Amino acid sequence: MKKDLISNDVQLSPEGKLIHLLGLEGLSKNHLTHILNIADGLIDDAGNLKKSKALDDMSVANLFFEPSTRTRNTFEIAAKRTSANIINVDLANSATKKNESLLDT
């Protein structure tokens, strides 16, 4: 995603709470540590992703600008194992081809 589309006013609430993770740039050390601690708790002792309800009733949108079957499937599996609703957006075949902006797509 272009840097100008990833701003902290989109990712953070007015109180500074992380509400959308669109990128890491501009996030504080505390936000990054919190994200890593949550991720660490999702891995079992054998290094496998645990099934959890961490993202229950939340949606995850995967946006890919280029074909990437393995990465897209890996991200989708991770989202499903954490009980997220998953949306895969194929930008190569989206309305961006009709010059619609990424934000409008």
Asked if 18 contacts 31 with a C-beta cutoff of 8 angstroms, the reply is yes
Q: Which residues of the chain have pLDDT under 50?
A: 1-5
Q: How far is CA 71 from the centre of its chain?
A: 13
Structure tokens at 17: 């709470």
Residue 91 confidence (pLDDT): 73
Q: How far is residue 39 from each of residues 24, 47, 82, 87, measured CA to CA in Å?
A: 14, 12, 11, 20
Residue 104 confidence (pLDDT): 65
Q: What is the CATH T-level fold of the domain 49-105, as seen in this structure?
A: Rossmann fold (3.40.50)
pTM of the model: 0.60
Residue 31 confidence (pLDDT): 93
Annotated domain spans of the chain: 1-41, 49-105
Residue 70 confidence (pLDDT): 92
Residue 46 confidence (pLDDT): 93
Interatomic CA distance for residues 80 and 21, integer angstroms = 17
Residue 95 confidence (pLDDT): 67
Closest CA to 1 of 16, 20, 29, 28: 20
Which amino acid, 20?
A: H
Asked if 52 contacts 46 with a C-beta cutoff of 8 angstroms, the reply is no
